[in-house]
Amino acid sequence: MGNDGGSIPTRRELVREAARNPSTAQLKETQREQQEHHWTTCPLSHKALVRPIVSDSVGNLYNKDAVLRFLLPGDDGEGISSKSDCEEILCGRVKSLRDVVELHFEIDTELSEHPSDRAQVHRHERREGWICPITAKPLGPNVKSVYLVPCGHVFAEEAVRQLKGDKCLQCNESYTEDNIIPILPTKETDKQYLIARGQKLAEQGLTHSLKKAPGSKKRKKHAATEASAEPAAETIGSTAPKATPASNSRSNTSTPVPANASSNGIKNAATATLTARVLGEESDKKKRRKMMGGNENIDSLFTKKDKDGGAKSADFMTRGFTIPASARR
């Protein structure tokens, strides 16, 4: 009957229903849940997405402070996953802040009065709503969204495609069709397009934000020195325009940069402030480590060595029983 060793259940009795492939509705529901997670959670810090938010060349979203902690040299940054996990997530796409673009979302001050929208906002614990400034649609997993490079303003895709302009509708900055980046794309064609765009920019010595790659200037210098060795380069160099005093005056009258920005070489005030805060937290962490290492009670547990390599004094862990000299005779 059971538990007597006399009956062995067969597979037909154990497996009541055969395994079935998920339906289209189930696949869409799973994809929607994944999109909701990526729209609300930073994959590096596993915390809620909070402005400032940046995006890489494939449209993924990250907290800017998490990216800064990852880029800081040294030990694993506090507040993010390990360096190896972050590198696996980023896949070498982010090597500096030039490889990401800070996104500018239009904030909806009044939440939608639709009950489902309020429930969705409450479930995600998002304090602010993001909307398209043209269509006023809430941006998220249910609306295909894009942003423009290099300004970073975010719109619904239908608004950008229908207007078909070459200037941003928010800041009036020029852009090309190649620099319309889908946010968290789901279609394979969009993913392949973004990968091809990144490779094309790398060949041109540019980053995702259309800024020069760190090594592009050195390559240009080497190319200039090789060109100067040729006779024809002398005539070209003689006709090259020289810097005028007006250009120097413009550079001297640039916008002042905060003190913490000049020390780190960052011109953007908001980025400099965020970098200074992250560096301050890292320095406090190192100070705490030094204080723990310099504790006299902890140091007394171990043997200290002198310059010759010999032990100065034995501690309680290495101290053993010593036979007196009189007992050795």
Give me the residue spans of the domains in the chain.
32-203
Considering the chain, what is the average pLDDT of its residues? 76
Place of tokens 């490079």: 149
Q: Using the predicted structure, report yes or no on whether residue 235 has a pLDDT greater than 60.
A: no
Task: Look at residue 49 in the predicted model and tell me its pLDDT.
Answer: 93
The Cα 249–Cα 256 span in angstroms is 14
User: What integer is the mean pLDDT of 60-88?
Assistant: 85
Please give the radius of gyration of the chain, using alpha carbons only, rounded to the nearest integer: 30
| 76 burial type by CB count under 10 A (0-12 exposed, 13-18 middle, 19+ buried) | middle
- Residues of the chain with pLDDT > 90: what percent? 40
Task: Write down the pTM of the prediction.
Answer: 0.62
Distance, C-alpha 150 to centroid of its chain: 17
In single-letter form, the type of residue at position 191 comes to: K
In single-letter form, the type of residue at position 7 comes to: S
Q: Could you tell me which residue, 230 or 100, shows the higher pLDDT?
A: 100
| 163 burial type by CB count under 10 A (0-12 exposed, 13-18 middle, 19+ buried) | exposed
Q: Which of 53-62, 96-105, 225-234, 240-249 is predicted with the least confidence, judged by mean pLDDT?
A: 240-249
Q: Using the predicted structure, report yes or no on whether residue 81 has a pLDDT greater than 90.
A: no
| CATH architecture of the domain formed by 32-203 | 2-Layer Sandwich (3.30)
User: What integer is the mean pLDDT of 162-180?
Assistant: 90
Task: Look at residue 83 in the predicted model and tell me its pLDDT.
Answer: 85
Rounded to the nearest 5 degrees, what angle is found at the Cα of 71, between the Cα atoms of 73 and 140?
Answer: 155
How many Cβ atoms are within 10 Å of 53's Cβ, its own excluded? 21
Contact 49, 63 (CB under 8 A): yes
- Residues of the chain with pLDDT > 70: what percent? 63
Q: Using the predicted structure, report yes or no on whether residue 86 has a pLDDT greater than 80.
A: yes
Task: Look at residue 248 in the predicted model and tell me its pLDDT.
Answer: 44
Contact 64, 53 (CB under 8 A): yes
Task: Look at residue 234 in the predicted model and tell me its pLDDT.
Answer: 44
User: What integer is the mean pLDDT of 64-83?
Assistant: 81
pLDDT digits (tens, 9 = 90+) for 29-46: 888 899 999 999 999 999
Task: Look at residue 154 in the predicted model and tell me its pLDDT.
Answer: 95
Contact 139, 146 (CB under 8 A): no
Confidence band (pLDDT; 50, 70, 90) for 23?
confident
Which DSSP letter does residue 187 get? Answer: S
pLDDT digits (tens, 9 = 90+) for 119-166: 444 444 445 789 999 999 999 998 999 999 999 999 999 999 888 888
Q: Is 222 helix (H, G, I), strand (E, B) or coil?
A: helix
